[in-house]
Amino acid sequence: MEVLGILPLVMDNSDKSGGIVILDFGSQYTQLIARRIREFEVYSEILPWNATEARIMGPRPKGIILSGGPRSATGPDAPSIDKSLLTGTVPVLGICYGMQLIAHTLGGSVEKGRLGEYGRTRVIFGDGAREKILKGVPDAIDVWMSHWDEVSSLPDGAAQFGVSESGSCAAFSMDDGRITALQFHPEVDTTEYGREILSNFLYDICGCEPNWKLGDWVKRSLGDIGSTVGHDERVICGISGGVDSTVAAVLVSKVIGDRLDCIFVDHGFMRKNEPEQVVEAYKKLNLRIRHVDASEKFLAAVNGVTSPEEKRKIIGELFVRVFEDEARKVGGAKWLLQGTIYPDVIESGFVGGDVIKSHHNVGGLPEDMEMSLLEPIRELFKDEVRRIGPLLGIPEELLKRHPFPGPGLAVRCLGNLARERLDILREADAIFMEEIRNFGLYDSIWQAFCALLPVRSVGVAGDIRTYGETVVLRAVASRDAMTAESVRLPWELIDRVAKRVCGEVPLVGRVVMDVTGKPPATIEWE
């Protein structure tokens, strides 16, 4: 386990007990809460609002956070909470819907406000008794609000300590600060002193220790892998060249060495020259790699399919079948290793929210799969995975690659998935990437790519009417892919790419730019 030699000196007591459980009531910010908490080096886990008490209390959390949510706490099918979670001894922080739910559950009332509050709002805490949660926070701050309902009367024993500029209850506490309820979102950057508020909750109210260290995580994970994979068992890993599968593969290879076979499946939806580059990079990492060209099979399977979800499911399932075949060829692997990360698990609906997209490495798995799944990084966020890379000796250029979806260009080629259209997309994408690098912008952009639209348009070239394909450029800034903003690329770059794509890629007649954020769009087009 040579990896230990390059680990920083870290504490050994990092584990999941003593962390925070976040109950998800469907807020778009739930993951943000979890990430913020981990930034304070405290483990956080998201559970669905209706998780059993045994599941919630199982990891002995030091605190529970009730997230926001889109529903009304008094509505007929409103997500609820077991009262005993509030009346026990564990500190609770309710945010937005979480606040209203605490009020409603403990005998207060919640009503529709006159106007609702959306966006930046002034909150006044006043100069009364200072709450622990307000340590270092001034008497009035601007916060992020997003609610219609409001708490109109407090439960017995509760004390209001914050009021918003419109006069509605913005914060109350109970049981000497063990329960804190905030109408605003401390996890959102717009909220001034939001980090102080969360830090006060974690360290001062819950007594958490900053022991969620990635170096510790790696050590623990190496131990877990060693005790999970039997001494004579083999593992197969689907690698794509992406950060997640690379980190997962290197992590496991540190423990089981050449009992790991990495399979690179070229499904025909890779970018220009990508298969060769990926295989080369992995050889340098001393991973045993098999390059399987299954493009014909995949193209045949998605022939005529245009529904995004159907495409994803077909590709995901075929992927696993190809693995199973390869597993037999290498002597039968017990385990299928995947670089599934936490947002994949959550977005695929495993935590209780809506299914947004079936992520290829989670939602598309067939039920009768022969291998068992090994997913060592499924509890990590992307930025955490990136930070682990150097601890494992993975070179920067692999870690800095823009994310690429499992189904590849299949979810960027809208409409007919013919080989010729994929080739057009590959060429256009290569030009866009080349120019982004020429402008020195690759490393500062989270993700950039081209998509091909199922729309043709009229043009003119050399006095002749054309009826060409449409390429769309997309470049986004993000921290974790959960939210994203369109990047303002220099006009010279866009102009140059448009001219080159129309001039160099046959059949393209128009280049357009996608400037939509996430939400409301997703990063990929499908």
User: Comparing C-alpha atoms, which of 358, 500, 391 is closest to residue 436?
Assistant: 500
Minimum distance from residue 312 beta carbon to ligand XMP (Å)? 6
Q: Is 185 a catalytic residue?
A: yes
User: For residues 151 and 374, which CB has a smaller minimum distance to ligand XMP in the complex?
Assistant: 374
- Write down the catalytic residue from 131, 187, 375, 427: 187
Q: What's 447's DSSP letter?
A: E
208 and 41 Cβ atoms separated by less than 8 Å = no
User: Comparing C-alpha atoms, which of 477, 480, 482 is closest to residue 381?
Assistant: 480
Q: Is 96 a catalytic residue?
A: yes
- What would the two tokens of residue 288 be? 């045993």
User: For residues 110 and 481, which CB has a smaller minimum distance to ligand XMP in the complex?
Assistant: 481
Strand ranges across the sheet with 372-374: 289-293, 260-266, 235-238, 335-337, 372-374
User: For residues 466 and 516, which CB has a smaller minimum distance to ligand XMP in the complex?
Assistant: 516
Minimum distance from residue 70 beta carbon to ligand XMP (Å)? 19
63-66 and 20-24 strand pairing: parallel
CB contact set of 178 (below 8 Å; sequence gap of 6+):
89, 91, 92, 205
Minimum distance from residue 523 beta carbon to ligand XMP (Å)? 3
User: For residues 31 and 183, which CB has a smaller minimum distance to ligand XMP in the complex?
Assistant: 31
Minimum distance from residue 409 beta carbon to ligand XMP (Å)? 11
d(CA 348, CA 325): 26
Minimum distance from residue 407 beta carbon to ligand XMP (Å)? 5
d(CA 504, CA 486): 26
d(CA 2, CA 391): 11
Minimum distance from residue 150 beta carbon to ligand XMP (Å)? 32
User: For residues 162 and 268, which CB has a smaller minimum distance to ligand XMP in the complex?
Assistant: 268
User: For residues 266 and 524, which CB has a smaller minimum distance to ligand XMP in the complex?
Assistant: 524
User: For residues 187 and 347, which CB has a smaller minimum distance to ligand XMP in the complex?
Assistant: 347
- Write down the catalytic residue from 185, 267, 359, 360: 185
Minimum distance from residue 484 beta carbon to ligand XMP (Å)? 7
Q: For the chain, what percentages of helix, strand and coil (3-state, to nearest 5) are there? A: 35, 25, 40
Q: What's 473's DSSP letter?
A: E
Q: In 175-307, at which residue ranges do the beta strands (DSSP E only) sit? A: 179-182, 235-238, 260-266, 289-293
- Write down the catalytic residue from 45, 96, 360, 435: 96
**CA-atom Rg of the chain in angstroms:** 25
User: Comparing C-alpha atoms, which of 130, 131, 162, 157 is closest to residue 145?
Assistant: 162
Handedness of CA 485, 489, 495, 497 (dihedral sign): negative
424 and 505 Cβ atoms separated by less than 8 Å = yes
Q: Residue 326: phi, psi to the nearest 5?
A: -65, -35
User: Comparing C-alpha atoms, which of 520, 511, 522 is closest to residue 450?
Assistant: 511
Scored b (16 or more CB within 10 A) or e, 228-264 reads ebeeeebbbbbbbbbbbbbbbbbbbbbbbeebbbbbb
Number of helical (H) and strand (E) elements in the chain, helices listed first: 15, 18
Distances (CA, A) of 143 to 23, 33, 148, 288: 22, 15, 16, 52
User: For residues 173 and 348, which CB has a smaller minimum distance to ligand XMP in the complex?
Assistant: 348
CB contact set of 181 (below 8 Å; sequence gap of 6+):
93, 94, 98, 99, 102, 103, 151, 158, 171, 172, 173, 174
Q: Is 147 a catalytic residue?
A: no
Q: What residues make contact with ligand XMP under the rule CB under 6 A?
A: 357, 359-361, 403, 405-407, 447, 481, 518, 522-524
Scored b (16 or more CB within 10 A) or e, 73-99 reads beeeebbebeeebbeeebbbbbbbbbb
Minimum distance from residue 324 beta carbon to ligand XMP (Å)? 19
- What would the two tokens of residue 179 be? 């329960």
Bridge partners of residue 144, in order along the sequence: 120
User: For residues 166 and 522, which CB has a smaller minimum distance to ligand XMP in the complex?
Assistant: 522
User: For residues 186 and 352, which CB has a smaller minimum distance to ligand XMP in the complex?
Assistant: 352
Minimum distance from residue 106 beta carbon to ligand XMP (Å)? 37
The residues annotated as belonging to the active site are 96, 185, 187
